[in-house]
Amino acid sequence: MMHISERIAGIAASPTLAMAAKAAAMKAAGLDVLSMSLGEPDFPTPPYIKAAVKQAVDSDLSHYGSVPGMPGLRAAAAEYMSGFAGRGSGEEPVFSAADIIVSVGAKQAICNAILTLIGAGDEVLIPTPCWVSYGEMVRLAEGIPVYVRTRMQDDFLLTAEALEAAITPRTRLLIICSPNNPTGSVYTAEHISRLAEVLLRHPDVTVIADEIYNRICYVGTCPSWAAQSEMLDRLVLVNGVSKAFAMTGYRIGWLACKDHAFIQACTRLQGQQITCATMVAQYAAEQALRGDMRCVNEMTEAFRRRRDLIVQLAQDIPGWQVRCPQGAFYLFPDVSALYGKHAPAESTYARQKTNESVGDATLIRSADDLCEYLLLDGLVACVSGSAFGEDACIRLSYACSEQLIREAMQRIRTTILQLL
């Protein structure tokens, strides 16, 4: 048996992918499972992007490219990112192609930024609820994730006061996501400015702003950290084509940073990892960014309708406290009122817990238990909030059809009523 390094042995598996795999296994076994676990748009990639893929293949775009990405895509990404900075027409763009590194998805861009910035013992502030991979990436870099809990009454947004209180002499990084996964909360421009005021008093702290969902926003244009001109020398913005353009499998994301010493260091790291992202996918991503954004707007409007539908249906489920998300495509209800309730003794959940020799096999103790109950007896897959640092909640993705949303929420309501 091979020895597994401590670095890898200590990393947890992704709970969202684990739930999706469990749902897929049940479905393969013949069960009619509805999945609301993965944040993946159900739309096909727009036709003009697929045409670009064919063009790239026919043009034999099949050789190695430069490590930081194709020049055309880097220029398109710089223009795209600069567009969120809130500057007027005629003003100098915030980013140029030299400020961009293209990676295999936004996930790799975030991980590489962390590996480049963080060393052993460095502290990284992560407001919770948060995406499941941030903390594991910090551990991979031998850093220390410091989770800063936010409150539902603050719309799950990090306050300036909480940020100030969390910073120590060892703090090197803040990772912040807007629109947020899993809550759907969006930071206003004023809120970002207040956080920036705190950070300006702490020049050793860099910010990674994960803005992968910023085109899927229901409150107008989503404010970007790129507008914080005084922070640009220690700001890393991350984006990509997966969510807004329905291109999750293309695996193209990027980071933008004005500090060229960081860009050079991160490029060295990526050069030892992958050489470059897939050239055909890079070309498709460039055309996506340069194409007509009507398809993106249409998908966002569809997500808005789905958001309105799932909020309406969720409000009719006993024991759920529901907020209306402002962006992304996740609902994150507080379900803690159901903890302490008992599943029917004849339920699949209770029978499985009995087989596992759990003390009170019918008791729902946590979000983990509730999600397992909903999967086994409701045949609906969602993700426990404990995966995101908030056990009072569960996450449901509405990046699926309205028909699936209606059926899944009806199953959830029926299954929840059996607890009461």
* Each residue's pLDDT tens digit, 34-44: 999 988 999 99
Residues contacting 31, CB < 8 A, separation 6+: 379
pLDDT in tens, 261-311: 999 999 999 999 999 999 999 999 999 999 989 999 999 999 999 999 999
Quote the number of domains for the chain.
2
The CATH number linked to 269 is 3.40.640.10
The answer to whether the CB of 364 falls within 8 A of the CB of 347 is no
**% of the chain exceeding 70 in pLDDT:** 99
Separation of alpha carbons 340 and 357, rounded Å: 18
Residue 191 shares a structural domain with residue 247: yes
Residue 240 lies in a domain: yes
Residue 140 lies in a domain: yes
Residue 400 has pLDDT above 80, yes or no: yes
Write down which residue in 257, 291, 325 finishes a domain: 291
The per-residue pLDDT for 370 is: 97
Residue 88 has pLDDT above 80, yes or no: no
- Per the model's pLDDT, the better-predicted residue between 172 and 359 turns out to be 172
Residue 351 lies in a domain: yes
The per-residue pLDDT for 57 is: 97
* DSSP 8-state symbol, 277: S
The answer to whether the CB of 397 falls within 8 A of the CB of 36 is yes
Residue 262 shares a structural domain with residue 375: no
Ramachandran angles phi, psi of 233, nearest 5°: -75, -10
Residue 29 shares a structural domain with residue 62: no
Residue 201 shares a structural domain with residue 309: no
Separation of alpha carbons 42 and 198, rounded Å: 40
The answer to whether the CB of 99 falls within 8 A of the CB of 254 is no
The per-residue pLDDT for 78 is: 97
Residue 117 shares a structural domain with residue 263: yes
The per-residue pLDDT for 87 is: 66
Residue 319 lies in a domain: yes
Give me the domain span that covers residue 141. Answer: 47-291
Residue 195 shares a structural domain with residue 76: yes
Residue 232 lies in a domain: yes
395 — pLDDT class (breaks 50, 70, 90): very high
Residue 1 lies in a domain: no
Write down which residue in 266, 291, 316 finishes a domain: 291
Give the other-Cβ count within 10 Å of 160's Cβ. 15
Residue 151 lies in a domain: yes
Residue 30 shares a structural domain with residue 166: no
Residue 99 lies in a domain: yes
Q: Give the position of tokens 């790291």.
A: 269
Strand order in the sheet with 330-331: 330-331, 394-397, 383-384
Separation of alpha carbons 284 and 279, rounded Å: 9
pLDDT in tens, 310-325: 999 999 999 999 999 9
Q: Which of 110-114, 245-249, 356-360, 373-377 has the lowest mean pLDDT?
A: 356-360
Taking the model in full, what pTM does it have? 0.95
The CATH number linked to 385 is 3.90.1150.10
Residue 33 shares a structural domain with residue 54: no
Please, what is the Cα angle at 243 between 238 and 246, to 5 degrees?
140
Structure tokens at 304: 């808005």
The per-residue pLDDT for 89 is: 60
Cα-to-chain-centroid distance, residue 348: 32
31 — pLDDT class (breaks 50, 70, 90): very high
Separation of alpha carbons 235 and 300, rounded Å: 27
The per-residue pLDDT for 40 is: 92
Residue 18 shares a structural domain with residue 153: no
Write down which residue in 246, 261, 291 finishes a domain: 291
Residue 342 shares a structural domain with residue 405: yes
Cα-to-chain-centroid distance, residue 185: 12
> Residue 63 burial by CB count (10 A; 0-12/13-18/19+): exposed, middle or buried?
exposed
Residue 207 shares a structural domain with residue 130: yes
pLDDT in tens, 92-107: 899 999 999 999 999 9
Structure tokens at 347: 């339920």
Residue 27 shares a structural domain with residue 85: no
The per-residue pLDDT for 16 is: 79
